[in-house]
């Protein structure tokens, strides 16, 4: 039974679906990395994802254009990000608490809109798999990496891009400065508020797209509480990845591969209690936080609001 797992087809299947399942985490966590690097813990990702997922699904269903769906998710996620930015930056709200408010708001509103505008669970024809010429024909590797839908490719491309922006550009330098020492950044003429508005709205947009990647590329349905905690995990992944895009990628793959493995274990009827397997990444996240504590430090100003002294 267990040996079934180690056949080539199954292993390739596990890896391919693992990469696919990592997309919602990647979008949301990369966005959250920017927010947290600038000092804002956006705990409302889950709510932003839910509204993005609904918007994308509804628009894709009615216009029959998937890209309009993605655009809707970007707009909705961006608006939610804007609200989050206003609450944390202008009103100096406690970030952990306001995030829970945004979670409940998104959970409630997406359910309300779903019930009133759709009523039943429908399916949409999501983004198809795109076979990349030549590369998709490489045995094993081709099947795992190069026969995915377009949102998967974009998500993977965002990782080096995010790394580059954060570490090699002036904007990235400003973001990190604002997150480490907002007073110093301010005295050097960097607008703390403007940088944080940028990162939090960006985070909202990315969370919206993360929702879209679920509802119109991965699952192709919308229902109540579609994300069921993915957004909260995305926030934790930023800690797991030590605020670095490549670390976030590793964390996202770990979570999604275990999920994918567990799905296959169920399909093959192997008697491993899946609930125990699903617990592992959460335990591992806590362990990683504890073990890396001496080497990795969160951005100094994380969760601290900044008030400009006159």
Partner 1 sequence: MAFRIRTEQRVEVPKWLPTATSIGSVIIAFILGGVIFKIVGGKPLQALSFFYQAVFGNWGVFSDTLVKATPLIIIGVACAVAFKMRLWNIGAEGQFYAGAFGASLVVLVPLVPLDSPKVLVIGMMMLMGMIFGGIWGFIPGYLKAKYKVNEIITTLMLNYIIINWNNFWIFDQWSDRGFQMTATFDRVAWLPRLADYAKEVKAFSGVTLHLGVIFGIIAAIIVWWIFRYSRWGYEIKLIGDNPNAARYAGIDISKNIILVMAFSGALAGLAGMSEISGVVHRLQESISPGYGFTGIIVAWLAKLNPFTIIPVSVLFAGLIVAGREIQPTGLSFLLQGIILFLLISSDVLIRYKIRLVRVDKETE
CA-CA distance, 275 to 295, in Å (whole number)? 32
Q: Tokens 């609904």, residue?
A: 54
CB of 90 to partner 1, least distance (A): 8
User: Which residue, 42 or 149, has its beta carbon nearer to partner 1?
Assistant: 42
CB of 267 to partner 1, least distance (A): 17
Residue 136 carries which DSSP code? G
User: Which residue, 97 or 138, has its beta carbon nearer to partner 1?
Assistant: 97
Q: How far is CA 78 from the centre of its chain?
A: 14
User: Which residue, 148 or 262, has its beta carbon nearer to partner 1?
Assistant: 262
Please provide residue 2's backbone torsions phi and psi, each rounded to the nearest 5 degrees.
Answer: -60, -35
CB of 140 to partner 1, least distance (A): 32
User: Which residue, 47 or 247, has its beta carbon nearer to partner 1?
Assistant: 47
Nearest by Cα to 174 from 42, 39, 304, 27: 39
CB of 83 to partner 1, least distance (A): 8
CB of 17 to partner 1, least distance (A): 20
CB of 268 to partner 1, least distance (A): 17
Nearest by Cα to 117 from 160, 62, 73: 62
User: Which residue, 141 or 293, has its beta carbon nearer to partner 1?
Assistant: 293
Please provide residue 59's backbone torsions phi and psi, each rounded to the nearest 5 degrees.
Answer: -70, -40
CA-CA distance, 64 to 215, in Å (whole number)? 14
Q: Which string of b and e fits 245-272 if b means at least 16 CB within 10 Å?
A: bebbbebbbbbbbbbbbbbbbeeeeeee
Cβ pair 26, 211 in contact under 8 A: no
Q: Tokens 């002036």, residue?
A: 170
User: What is the binding site for partner 1 (CB under 8 A)?
Assistant: 41, 43, 47, 83, 87, 91, 93-94, 96-98, 100-117, 224, 229, 232-233, 235-236, 239, 273, 275-276, 278-279, 282-283, 285-286, 289-290, 293, 298
Alpha-carbon radius of gyration of the chain:
20
User: Which residue, 168 or 308, has its beta carbon nearer to partner 1?
Assistant: 308
Structure tokens given for 104: 């409940």
């Amino acid at each position: 039974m267990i040996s079934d797992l180690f056949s080539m087809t199954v292993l390739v299947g596990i890896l391919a679906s693992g990469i696919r399942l990592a997309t919602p985490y990647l979008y949301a966590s990369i966005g959250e990395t920017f927010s947290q690097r600038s000092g804002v813990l956006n705990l409302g990702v889950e709510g932003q994802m839910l509204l993005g997922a609904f918007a994308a699904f509804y628009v894709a269903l009615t216009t029959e254009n998937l890209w309009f769906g993605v655009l809707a998710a970007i707009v909705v996620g961006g608006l939610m990000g804007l609200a989050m930015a206003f609450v944390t930056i202008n009103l100096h709200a406690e970030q952990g608490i306001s995030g829970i408010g945004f979670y409940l708001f998104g959970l409630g509103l997406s359910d309300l809109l779903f019930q009133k505008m759709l009523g039943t669970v429908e399916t949409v024809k999501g983004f198809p798999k795109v076979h990349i010429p030549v590369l998709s024909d490489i045995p094993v590797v081709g099947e795992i990496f190069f026969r995915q839908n377009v949102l998967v490719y974009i998500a993977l491309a965002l990782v080096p891009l995010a790394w580059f922006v954060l570490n090699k550009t002036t904007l990235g330098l400003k973001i990190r400065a604002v997150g480490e020492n907002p007073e110093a950044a301010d005295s050097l003429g960097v607008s703390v508020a403007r940088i944080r508005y940028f990162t939090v709205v960006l985070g909202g947009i990315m969370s919206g797209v993360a929702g879209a990647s679920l509802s119109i590329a991965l699952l192709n349905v919308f229902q109540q509480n579609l994300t069921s905690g993915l957004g909260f995990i995305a926030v934790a992944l930023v800690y797991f990845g030590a605020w670095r895009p490549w670390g976030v990628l590793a964390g996202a793959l770990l979570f999604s591969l275990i999920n994918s493995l567990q799905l296959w274990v169920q399909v093959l009827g192997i008697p491993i209690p899946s609930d125990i397997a699903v617990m592992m990444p959460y335990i591992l996240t806590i362990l990683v936080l504890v073990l890396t504590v001496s080497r990795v430090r969160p951005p100094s100003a994380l969760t601290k609001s900044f008030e400009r002294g006159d």
